[in-house]
Amino acid sequence: MIRPRKSAFKFLFALFILISVTVLNGCAVSGKNRVNAHHNHSINNISYAGTFHNNFNKNNSVLIIGLSADATNLIGNMAADAPTAEVTSQIYDGLVRYNRNLKIVPDLAKSWKITNGGRTIIFKLRRHVLWQDGHHFTARDVLFTYHLMINPKTPTPYSADYLKVEKARTIGKYIFQVTYKKPYAPALSSWGLSILPRFLLKGKNLLTTKLRSHPVGTGPYEFYKWIHGYEIILKANPHYFMGVPHIKEIIYRIVPDSSSMFLMLKSDGIDYMGLTPIQYKFESKGKNFIKKFKKYIHPSLSFTFLGYNILDKLFKKRKVRQALSYAINKKEIIKGALLGLGRHCYGPYMPGTYYYDGNVKKYRYNPKKALRLLKQNGWNLINGRLIKNGKRFKFTILTPQGNPERLSAAEIMQQNLKKIGIKVDIRVMEWTSLISEFIMKKNFQAVLLGFTITPDPADASSIFSGNDIVPKGLNFTSFNNAQINKLFIKARSTFNLKIQKKYYFEIQRLLAEDCPYTFLYIPEAMPVVKSTVGGIKPAPAGIGYDIRRWFVNEKIS
């Protein structure tokens, strides 16, 4: 998956890892719950099945996590994909983070004070925090990270939050003060970004520095080895300021095929992964499986969508995008591709949150209405082919490998659109290539992806604001609505939740009308963990929000 800004959606095209999760995501298992990570909402109802074995063994302390795609690089803040976000969340810390209840709590900052009418934040930093190479962490590292984020040469999709800052400065070694040009509601959460080491990165080219593949952070785990396309190994940080993690080694095993990953789980090659609907409903029910593994299910903090490249002539007209949304049978996708393990999605916000509007326009399956809208734009159905000016309506959907539900969804959409004369090709691609060579370069017509999101509604601006149509930005569809741009600015400029709600409701209404995406579904997260792994406490943030507190028990007899 993809994640929106660092403090918002750990966006990443909903493409991957273990749990279907915005970052951009594919399906991913989530680790440390960072404010800069883009996570799911409303996960209070978590179901669990399995056997728990409570024989703690500190020596048997390796956790193997399945990822459906490799990371793109290992410098925090420099990528928007879920695998990178998952791995770097264990290596780096922010000043703040989200806790198990999705509340903002201290991380590298031990406290903060908001003054000046909400314009100024004074962070008091923890003392005696060490970088993983032994250097001391100070406020100069925070100031350096801020300057990196606003530098136009920095290849980051998350700069927008920091360009709102009027002045940033250090006060001694352990106080960082930041003042905004005007009140900015997401200000505090934005400081969940990964703080980077000044002494190692100052003056370095971020595209060529060795830290892209050999990172140094302050987090609970430190980098050990990266075999590209195969695995990333992290070791417990013996100097971690919140205490040494119980699990001494995390191995991220990269397995693009979900069936192969499941076989590895059953043969002890993986300890923690996200199940597909078929695996959850039909392939993980036997007594032996229930004895050996614990499986969970809860609504993910993510949504899956078909995004249109608005620079493409086919998708420039709003009525065409609306027609496609009417022509796609979302109910059939949830039933057929997800086996019912998902919910309808009508926008970028999660049901149950204060800013969610359940009354927005809904594009229920109506192929006749789709054809009427297309006819208004010059398209005519002739002998089963939709034609305009002698050319057929045809396009290609790109989607990442390793997500069978998404592929099934694409095939259902292909058949839905065929019924109104549109020819759709499907191209399944390796994740890093899809992101770097197609998505970020806007070299696509339509993409089937997902975003993992955080509790901050302002994070959606990085996806839908015209100001974020920038290189490597998350608004890769190039959607630009002046009203929506202004509404995001207004919503972020007030701390009054009632006023914010009014603005976000209007944003959702306009998004539903303009249809830059066809919003498809909110998938269930279905993580599974070996029963020998203890310390798991389901919460609104899911189960993987704080892996450093997990431990490994004795083997099952």
pLDDT in tens, 120-129: 999 999 999 9
pLDDT band at 13 (very low <50, low <70, confident <90, very high): very low
16 pLDDT band, cuts 50/70/90, is very low
Instruction: Report pLDDT for 5.
Output: 44
Gap between the Cα atoms of 276 and 527, Å rounded: 9
Residue 149, pLDDT above cutoff 70: yes
Percent of the chain with pLDDT over 70: 89
Q: What is the pLDDT of residue 393?
A: 98
Question: Which pLDDT belongs to residue 58?
Answer: 46
Which structure tokens are listed for 318?
């709003």
How do residues 453-484 score in pLDDT, each as one tens digit?
888 899 899 999 998 887 778 899 999 999 99
Q: What is the CA radius of gyration of the chain?
A: 23
Give the Cα separation of 473 and 476 in Å (integer). Answer: 6
**Residue 23 to residue 85: CA distance in whole angstroms:** 7
- Cα angle 416, 418, 420 (rounded to 5 degrees) comes to 85
**DSSP assignment of 498-555:** HHHHHHHHHHHHHHHHH-SEEEEEEEEE-EEEETTEE----BTTBS-TTGGG-EEBPP
CA 220 from centroid of its chain's CA atoms: 21
pLDDT per residue over 63-75, tens digit each? 999 999 999 999 9
Whether 450 contacts 25, CB under 8 Å: yes
Phi, psi angles (nearest 5°) of residue 226: -135, 110
How far, in Å, CA of 89 to CA of 36, rounded?
A: 9
DSSP calls for 537-553: --BTTBS-TTGGG-EEB
Alpha helices in 73-153 (DSSP H): 82-91, 139-150
User: Cα separation of 500 and 503, whole Å?
Assistant: 5
- Measure the CA–CA gap between 21 and 14, rounded to whole angstroms: 6
151-168 pLDDT tens trace = 999 988 888 899 999 999
DSSP symbol at 33: -
Task: Provide the percentage of residues in the chain whose pLDDT is more than 90.
Answer: 76
pLDDT at 352: 87
Give residue 218's identity as a one-letter amino acid code.
T
Q: What angle do CA 417, 12, 233 make, to 5 degrees?
A: 130
Q: What does the alpha-carbon distance between residue 389 and residue 401 come to, in Å, rounded to a whole number?
A: 35
- Do residues 437 and 475 lie in contact, with contact meaning Cβ atoms separated by under 8 Å? no
Per DSSP, the three-state class of 104 is strand
Residue ranges of E strands in 144-200: 165-170, 175-180
Residue in 449, 63, 410, 400 with CA at minimum distance from that of residue 258: 400
Using CA atoms, how far apart are residues 315 and 412, in angstroms rounded to an integer? Answer: 20
101-128 CB burial, b ≥16 within 10 A, e <16: ebebebbbbeebeeeeebbbbbbbbbee
Is pLDDT of 14 > 60? no
Q: What are the boundaries of each domain within the chain?
A: 305-521
pLDDT at 222 over 70: yes
Class of the CATH domain delimited by 305-521: alpha beta
- Identify residue 174 by its one-letter amino acid code: Y
Q: Please tell me the predicted confidence (pLDDT) of residue 157.
A: 84
Secondary structure string (H, E, C) spanning 364-378: CCCHHHHHHHHHHCC
The whole-chain average pLDDT of the chain stands at 89
In DSSP notation, 476-495 reads: TT----HHHHHHHHHHHT--
